[in-house]
Structure 1
Amino acid sequence: MDSTSTESGGITRRTVIQASMAAGLVTGLSATVGTTAYAADPAISAGIDATKKSAPILPYVYGAFIEHIGTLVYDSLWSEVLADRKFYLAVDTLSPNTRKWRPVGTAADVTMDTTDPYVGAQSPKIALSRSETRGIKQTGLGLAAKAYVGRVVIAGDPGTHVVATLSWGDGAGQSQSVPVTVKKGWATVPLRFRVGAATTTGSLEISGTGTGSFRVGAVSLMPGDNVKGFRKDTIDLLRGLGGFWRFPGGNFVSGHDWQNAIGDPDKRPTTFDPDRNQAQSNDVGTDEFLAMCDLLDTEPYPCVNTGFGSAREAALMVEYVNGAPDTPMGALRSANGHHKPYGVKYWAVGNEMFGFWQLGYMTPAHYMIKHNLFADAMRKVDPSIAIVAVGGFPASMTVHRLPFYIDPSSRQIVQPTKVKVEYGSLTDWNHRLLTSSAGKFEIISEHCYGTTQRFDLDQGKYINVSPAESMVDSCRRGANYIKSVRENWELYKPDFPALEQNQIKVSIDEWGFQNASGMKQLFGLAMMLHEMFRASDFITMAAYTMGVSWLSYNKTDSTYSGAGVLFKLYRDRFGVTPVELTGSSPQPAPNYPPGGDQPSVNAGSPTYPVDTMATLSADGRTLTVATVNATADAQDINLSFNGFNARPNGKLWRLTGTTLDATNKVGQAPQVTVAELAFDTRSNVLSAAPYSVEIRSYTKA
């Protein structure tokens, strides 16, 4: 039975269950599960046939997505401590709630020089006094008790005496000052500090005394243990977790000029992001992203701008990244510090260009022309690249609720008479893409954001579902979205033989499970993973949104979030080749008509209410069985195997939470954990623990 409403006293019953589970877990590998405690005749039976294999699950399915949404990249991945380090904003006393530079001394003595700025439109100029300290200061800095390094680009008149002071408190001995040599012309002066105690209210002041004035062009402050500018703590946690990283967008990319974010970071002007209406420092650009992927030992997946951008700009980017050093852009890359071509294979051409919210949005007919221009220009530079085209299956086009548009061919207003987008209709984006741009891409992108709400075809919007809906039904809704894409894919095959011939694949390069938290979110994510694994024949890439949400982090520290624990479990322990799993307990019939994110047949395995998936390792010597049990009761499954004889000693990894609301937060004891146990494979009963995600490993005899 699966309903939290049946649990007397709210969490009480669940807490008792989990406490008893924990008592059995503390002995670690000495514990044994799956033997005498289970019912002799489980209601669910399942068969695993290791001789019937599907296409391998590629590591790219464990990919990640990150984009410049405000300061997201800079807060989570980049180690820069300072905000507005190139003075996009004026140094003044206005906007008291904005984190920015403030004057030290009289505000009128700090002006913004627009005549000869170091970078961008302005640089602060400080008029000095012999008797009064004047300068600029930024507060609210998060600092750890360790070394920090930085630099200041500065110019000034003779007779100026400038110091940089980093403070981690107001008391004696809670700051460190270093002298800054000032020359008439712009010069970069290195800074080094040792912070004595952690704080979230630190400050950096650049001030001086003397005659004349000095100007500041750019300032930087990073932890001394930064790795090529990135946070060591988050890089260490993310290394090896994602199969690839998609960047820089997302909606951001459609207003982004990649050439603003290469070269000397101090000379890159801060620009305005028209999508998010926020300043963008451009410190993390193409080279930094590719360096990050190298640090993470993962594949880069850059996205080019087909919104406000041009095919020429995209081709230049391909040449910058992949061109030989003797090409114009390859020579620029070499001058910027990376002589060898990066050799990036996968390129996303645009982001969600079907959507009216996208900068540079145009009619589908016109966009197909634009895509083809981009593909031709990029392949002319490097024919070896794999192009991922903006896609939109009928499922997605339905839930996105797109308004009318004018079709250039017929000059008619196109607006579906029904909310549901039908296969082959004028609002079927992918049908038009496959018809108009055949041969101009290898992969179609798709974005699937599952949610606990459901899309109502009559109302044309997402609506809340009855609180009485079971946890399993609610968590399955994201997997249903993936299953809808599967059903849409099968509709295309008769009309487009390239799909049947495996010449075109799909990348779910944005996905997640929304309006859910705690264990409910993790169950939904695990079910979505399972459904993508079942579609390994055509879904070969996927990018979780956002990749940094695998972490819980603050300004100085980080740990795995619940989602991070889940993904690490599957990445480390689950196999790569799906094998056939049959069962006696099929998923129940849908409660709602098919369309949008509701398929005609519910997602999941025939082991309801458990979602079960089986795979082999690459060498075929290990069989892994994953279960998602989003119910309050242990669920017993009578397993049988064909084509695989296991050794008696198996291993089990069990993910659970302290409560259904369990989350992992930096600085606190983890509430979502994975316990490793042993079990006897000779028992044919698999008992999935209440509210758990489990992976069992069987080794071939």
Structure 2
Amino acid sequence: MTMTMPSITVFPTRKVSKINRNIYSGFTEHMGRCIYGGIYDPSNPKKDLIDRDGFRRDVIDALKPLEVPVFRYPGGNFCATYHWQDGIGPRDQRPSRPELAWDNVETNQFGTDEFMAWCRAVDAEPYLCLNFGTGTLDEAMAWVEYCNGTKDTYYANLRRKNGHEDPYRVKYWALGNEMWGPWQVNQMTAEAYAERALQWAKALKLLDPTIQLVLCGKEGATNWDHHVLKHCLQPAGLSDLGEERVPLIDMHSIHLYTASEEHYENVTAPLAAERSIEVAAALIDLAVVENQIPPAQKRPTVCFDEWNVWLPTRAVGSRGAEESYTLSDALAVAVWLNVLVRKSADVSMACIAQSVNVISPLMTTPTGLVRQTTWWAYELFCRFMKGHQIAVHVDCAAYTGPTKPAWVRALKPTPWLDVSATLDETGWVNLCVVNIHAEQDLETTLGGVDASRGEVYTVTGPHLKVTNMAGKEEVGLHKSEWDPKKSSTFVFPRSSITMLRWQTS
């Protein structure tokens, strides 16, 4: 059956929300080959790949041009038994420990100071996750002091003794990771977590009021999210000197992974994240109302600090979780990124999990790199989808088959063309269109395009199951020129990601 011709109308003068570039952040966990053999590989015999710090030059060279703003570390589930002091000081004195999250041994050859050096190498900010499993508040405060302390105090001096005179000024700190999970060491109830998180937040903000704290949420639309937000979002109030205190909680973390072997379930599943963000934002608003947060106090935002396409039965966590991503997965990641742009009014940070080797767009081999199919979607958004989200109207037939989860079909439209649009600071409009249809190219009427020339970036491949591997990368990025004046329509190829760019007059 032939569908009515779709239409997309862009409104460059209608700015919807400012995009925080932190939505394109990354994640580096002590898991599989993410750290050892990924970003840190000093024993690699191919010495031209390794810099003087033991870091993979090719990984740095791949990530740095994307200007990935923030990297989360050291986990993940790894955090629940990680003691940061094991990973500082002379390497020959660092203890090896049992690693319980991924059934491994942690050598601690890469720790806080190495991570800070790597962040400098890729021009990114660090985001540290505190141990809420076996860790203590004293230990957490010591880590903040070690990283940020400027006074003549023990842990600030320990940093100096280890060769790092200047403070790292780590801004972002997470109050634990997935403490609701049955796989977690010291799993907690929402009530127990909320009480502990509130007390930790008070102490940490007294120690360093400049930091931003991230509350541990669940998937955004759960009783856990509701309870911890209601308990922990409090009016900042005034100090004894009459000065306004900083809010205790700055962001609320949510996590979600999507995947299916069935193509249409795979590419529509990220729409579940869109709904999760909407509900999480509403729960933040509810906590603001219930706790009578004054209007002048900054409203917390959503931090989607673990997201990706991941099928754990296909890429088992305890075996390194090395996915081999297909073209279908690349389309799903592009839909994920469209969701983050569309919800940029509420999301101030998002971290693709993970940045190297572990369910990652970027894979290392002993001699080089493989950019997986999903890399190209991530690169396009990092490079171009900046500035402001702008209004765009899409009129397109929708997919009506099964979705995963099933409620997506009932609550969210699933058009064949998934779309977001931005206007950057230099006046370029960027329109990302994902044609999820496996069989039909979709000729589409375009409106709101006021330009005589433009650029087209396309990601597609010979079939949905195609993957990229060393020496054979069949899915890549194709650039071409485009003259919008020649035609008011554009054909979006089946199973493709297309970015149209033009400069406003």
TM-score (norm 2): 0.87
Deviation sequence 1:468-515 (CA, Å, 0-9, x none): xxx445311122233233145335534534699861101110011123
Which amino acid in structure 1 is aligned with residue 45 of structure 2? L
Judge conservation of contact 2:442–2:491 (CA < 8 Å) in 1: yes
Counterparts in 2 of 1:593-672, with a 5 A limit? 598=408, 600-602=410-412, 608-619=415-426, 621-631=427-437, 632-641=439-448, 645-646=450-451, 648-666=452-470, 668-672=471-475
Of 214, 230, 252, the residue aligned with 1:444 is 252
- Contact 1:483–1:603, Cα closer than 8 Å, also in 2: no
Q: Deviations over 1:224-251 (max 9, x none)?
A: x424221112121121432211010111
Check conservation: 1:614, 1:624, Cα contact below 8 A.
Answer: yes
| Corresponding residue of 2:384 | 573
The secondary structure found in structure 1 opposite 2:456 is strand
Q: Does residue 1:383 correspond to 2:209, yes or no?
A: yes
Q: Does structure 2 conserve the Cα–Cα contact (< 8 Å) formed by 1:576 and 1:616?
A: yes
Of residues 443-452 and 584-593 in structure 1, the stretch that sits farther from structure 2 once superposed is 584-593
Q: Which runs of 5+ in 2 are unaligned?
A: 235-247, 312-323
Distance 1:233 1:591, change over 3 A: closer
For 2:382 and 2:13, locate their aligned partners in 1 and report how far apart those are by CA, in whole Å.
Answer: 23
Aligned residue identity for 1:431: H
Contact 1:253–1:304, Cα closer than 8 Å, also in 2: yes
Which of 463, 474, 482 aligns to 2:274? It is 482
Structure 2 vs 1, CA of residues 563 and 442 (structure 1 numbering), >3 Å: closer, same or farther? same
Query: Match for 1:585 among 390, 396, 408?
Result: 396
CA 1:333–1:537: 2 relative to 1, 3 Å: same
Deviation at 1:594, TM superposition (A): 8.4
Q: Is the 8 A contact 2:264 2:403 kept in 1?
A: no
Deviations 1:325-359 (A, max 9, x none): 52221111111111001111111110001112111
* 1:254–1:289 distance in 2 versus 1, CA, 3 Å: same
Contact 1:271/1:279, CA 8 A, preserved across alignment: yes
RMSD: 2.5
Is residue 2:31 matched to residue 1:77? Answer: no
SS of the residue corresponding to residue 302 of structure 2 reads strand
- Which of the pair has more CA radius of gyration? 1
Residues of 1 paired with 2:203 and 2:286: CA distance?
Answer: 31
The alpha-carbon deviation at position 581 of structure 1 amounts to 1.1
| Change beyond 3 A, Cα 1:599–1:342 | farther
Partner of 1:143: 45
The answer as to whether partners of 1:480 and 1:603 remain within 8 angstroms in 2 is no
The answer to whether the aligner puts 1:685 opposite 2:477 as a matched pair is no
8 Å Cα contact 1:312/1:377 also seen in 2: no
Larger strand fraction of residues: 1
Q: What code does the residue aligned with 1:232 have?
A: R
Distance (Å, rounded) in 1 between the aligned partners of 2:103 and 2:4: 57
**1:654 alignment partner, SS class:** strand
Bigger helix fraction: 2
Hey, what's the Cα distance between the residues in 2 that align with 1:594 and 1:518? 21
Identity %: 28
Q: Which of 364, 371, 383 is the aligned partner of 1:560?
A: 371
Count of residue correspondences: 470
Paired amino acid for 1:672: V
Residue of structure 2 aligned with 1:271, choices 74, 97, 105: 97
Query: Structure 1 counterpart of 2:23, which letter?
Result: V
**Unpaired runs of at least 5, structure 1:** 3-40, 82-141, 148-222, 398-427, 454-466
2:303 alignment partner in structure 1: 507
Secondary structure of 1:624's counterpart equals strand
Deviation at 1:574, TM superposition (A): 2.8
Q: Deviations over 1:90-113 (max 9, x none)?
A: xxxxxxxxxxxxxxxxxxxxxxxx
Distance 1:554 1:346, change over 3 A: same
State the 1:586 CA deviation: 5.8
With the length of structure 1 as denominator, give the TM-score of the two structures. Answer: 0.63
Contact 1:272–1:279 (Cα < 8 Å) also in 2: yes
**1:437, distance to aligned residue in structure 2 (A):** 1.0
Partner deviation per Cα, 1:438-470 (whole Å, 9 max, x = no partner): 1431100000101227xxxxxxxxxxxxx6xxx
* 1:373-452 alignment, distance < 5 Å: 373-393=199-219, 395=221, 397=222, 428-439=223-234, 440-452=248-260
> Quick one: distance in 1 between partners of 2:100 and 2:366?
26
d(CA) in 1 for partners of 2:466, 2:340: 25
TM-aligned CA distance change 1:665 to 1:65, over 3 Å = same
